[in-house]
Amino acid sequence: MDINDLIRSNLRNYSPYETEEKPIDENWLKLNTTENAYPPIPEILDDIKNGIDNKVRLYPDPTAFELRKMILSVLLRDNDTLTNRNSIFIGNGSDEILDVIFKVFVEPGEQVIIFYPSYSLYKVLASLYNAKIIEIKLNDDFTIPKTAFSVKGKIMIINSPNDPNGKSYDNQTILELCKNFPGIVIVDESYADFSTYTCLSLLKKVNNLIVTRSFSKSFSLASLRIGYALADPNIIKEMNRVKLPYNTNHLGQIAALSCIKNRNKVYEQNKKILEERKRLTEELNKYSGISVLPSDSNFIFVRFEDESKTLKFIWDLKEMKILIRHFSKPGLYNYIRITIGTKEDNNKFLQAFEEIGNKYL
């Protein structure tokens, strides 16, 4: 039997998501993925350890009741946003949440609006679900162009702060998009804890908004796959109907609970990332020939005036066992994305950058 004859026809032109390089050798400085520079604080690691008991044999709570309760009480107090624990969906990372949203809403051939550049998984998912992809190019300053305010479709996905440039969109912009768009607007706020912006308060004003959040970035739980979505209870109800029964793991639920409980200490730790973001931005902006875009996230996006120098830096950094991210895509050839490391990581990076800069800048 020829297996290729059995595969869905739209997978023939489908390009999968490509994960970033992950060297096995631990001596590499990995500033190429957007993980938190710091591990979870000891209290959280202890809580996870204490969660490893005889209950490991049991299925996780399919409703993640305790975690939803905790998110609700915290969000209610901190953001005055939600009134109902049926406004919360818990997923196996933001990625799975997006997958579930597609399952609820997207029929083959329906329009899905994504922006360029942005997190590349959006396009991959839209393609997987056989949607008609409308890719709107962001303005040169990465703001949202006028066409987005009149486009039709079933789903629109905004990343705020946006990967790779790191800027957030303001609530006025997002509210306008929600009001004008005839479908669901997803705002992926995976990096919002590094920003002063969040559109959570808009959930009270429009019912076609889904805000997704992640414990992978600001809470350093990437390995445990846990994220959540906030939306109108009618949307959350449908998402719960189509999700796999046991989508999230028990230790991820426990870890996320502990993160919320210990959030003030975590935010304190994250302040170091914000300070380092400021320092890295200032240090790199001292070089002529490059400019650092203002960032609300845990990474910075650096522009080279001379495109030909971009790859020289990437290759030389790699020689020195430092990985950063380059996107070999139109309009992005002369940019690099650098994840903010610890102070020591960044010192090492800056020193390497200086050596290379002396050669090329």
Which range in 101-109, 190-198, 277-285, 325-333 contacts a copy of itself by CB under 8 A?
101-109
- Nearest residue (CB) to a copy of itself, 15 versus 288: 15
**241 vs 329, beta carbon nearer a copy of itself:** 241
281 touches a copy of itself by CB under 8 A: no
Q: How far, CA to CA in Å, does 161 sit from each of 102, 172, 189, 214, 294? A: 22, 15, 7, 13, 11
Does 11 sit near a copy of itself (CB under 8 A)? yes
Contact residue for a copy of itself among 21, 22, 145, 268 (CB under 8 A): 22
- Report the run of H or E that residue 128 belongs to, with start and end: helix 121-128
What are the residues whose beta carbons fall under 8 Å from the beta carbon of 140, sequence distance 6 or more? none
User: 163 by DSSP, 3-state: which?
Assistant: coil
Residues numbered 249 to 278 that lie near a copy of itself (CB under 8 A) are 249-252, 255
Q: 50 or 139: whose CB is closer to a copy of itself? A: 50
Among 13, 19, 150, 264, binds a copy of itself (CB under 8 A): 19
Q: Closest approach of Cβ 278 to a copy of itself, in Å?
A: 22
Based on the shown chain and the rule CB under 8 A, indicate whether residue 156 belongs to the binding site for a copy of itself. no
What is the nearest approach in angstroms of a copy of itself to the Cβ of residue 154?
7
Applying CB under 8 A, the site for a copy of itself has a residue count of 77
Q: Is 22 exposed, middle or buried (0-12, 13-18, 19+ CB in 10 A)?
A: exposed
Q: Does an H or E element contain 137, and which? A: strand 132-137
- 204 to 223, contacts with a copy of itself by CB under 8 A? 206-208, 216, 220-223
Distance CA 214, CA 225 (A): 9
x-marked contacts with a copy of itself along 30-69 as a string, rule CB under 8 A: ---x-xx-xxx----x--xx--xxxxxxxxxxx-------
CA distance 33 to 253: 23
Burial of 209 (0-12, 13-18, 19+ CB in 10 A): buried
Distance, CA of 296 to CA of 87 (rounded, Å): 26
Q: Is 238 in the site for a copy of itself (CB under 8 A)?
A: yes
